[in-house]
Amino acid sequence: MINKIVASVAEALDGIRDGATVLIGGFGSVGQPDVLIEGLIEQGAKDLVAVLNNAGVGRVGVARLMELGRVRKIICSFPRSSDPVVFETLYREGRIELEIVPQGTLAERIRAAGAGIPAFYTATAAGTLLEQGKEAREFDGKRYVMERALRGDVALVEAWEADRWGNLVYRGSGANFNPVMAMGADLTIAQVQHIRELGELHPHMIMTPGVYVNRVVQVDRGGDWLKPEAA
């Protein structure tokens, strides 16, 4: 019997090593695997490369992980938020590396990793500062930049519902980076609010098939706990 449901956050995060590249889903306040990030703080892995859209808000979650000196490098598109104080301080002091990636290129690099594509060409960033150090090439008279696939050792994702096969259903705009990150890592760990019986999730509603998911942990936060943030 296939059963990817684990009993605790600690069990879900077991084996994440120092130096790991960690893909972290979510966009704004929605779809954040916040309980798994708290768990990673407890778990202790350090020298991490964090891949996510923003560089943390306030002093909780990813910002806390950075503040504790556990993140060597951040790869993101938008290192700003309503309160990016931790990242900005570390960055100014030269204590964290930053790689800025256009948001679509970030998603596509991860998708490429998940789809077995080592590199691809895109028009995004052609002729800009973010082309520097990359191979560029013309196709049909237009300039493109070569981007490498970006694979995670681990992906931390959030979904609304899951079953024991690891099939995931998202809520509202909560899919965002989660499905692509789920397919782009060696070990994908999902935090979900509801566990359903196998067969209960409608096949058309499953955006992430369980094939991409290794572990599922339930964290029942209720339906209304999210507070929208200002940035």
Partner 1 sequence: MPFTRDQMAARLGADVPEGWCVNLGIGIPTMVANHVQGKEVIFQSENGVIGMGPAPAKGAEDPWLINAGKQLITLAKGASFVGHADSFAMIRGGHIDLCVLGAFEVAENGDLANWATSENDTAPAVGGAMDLAAGAKRLWVIMEHTTKDGRPKLVERCGYPLTGLACVRRVYTNLAVIDVLPEKGFVLVDLAPGVTLDEVRAKSGAAIHTN
Residue placing its CB nearer to partner 1 in the complex, 45 or 158: 158
Residue placing its CB nearer to partner 1 in the complex, 58 or 79: 79
Q: Which residues contact 89 (CB under 8 A, 6 or more apart)?
A: none
Helix (H) or strand (E) holding 157: strand 152-162
Instruction: Tell the smallest beta-carbon distance from residue 172 to partner 1 (Å).
Output: 3
Instruction: Tell the smallest beta-carbon distance from residue 107 to partner 1 (Å).
Output: 4
Residue placing its CB nearer to partner 1 in the complex, 6 or 126: 126
Instruction: Tell the smallest beta-carbon distance from residue 175 to partner 1 (Å).
Output: 4
Among residues 216, 206, 203, 198, which one has the least CA distance to residue 175? 206
Rounded CA-CA distance 43/1 in Å is 29
Instruction: Tell the smallest beta-carbon distance from residue 189 to partner 1 (Å).
Output: 17
Contact 168, 136 (CB under 8 A): no
Residue placing its CB nearer to partner 1 in the complex, 100 or 195: 100
DSSP E strand stretches across 14-106 = 21-24, 48-51, 71-76, 97-100
Instruction: Tell the smallest beta-carbon distance from residue 46 to partner 1 (Å).
Output: 22
Q: Which residues contact 28 (CB under 8 A, 6 or more apart)?
A: 54, 228, 229, 231
Rounded CA-CA distance 176/174 in Å is 6
| Residue ranges that bind partner 1, judged by CB under 8 A | 27-30, 55, 77-80, 84, 87-88, 91-92, 98, 100-108, 110-111, 122-130, 170-180, 207, 224, 226-231
Residue placing its CB nearer to partner 1 in the complex, 10 or 211: 211
Residue placing its CB nearer to partner 1 in the complex, 45 or 149: 149
Instruction: Tell the smallest beta-carbon distance from residue 187 to partner 1 (Å).
Output: 19
Among residues 33, 72, 69, which one has the least CA distance to residue 53? 33
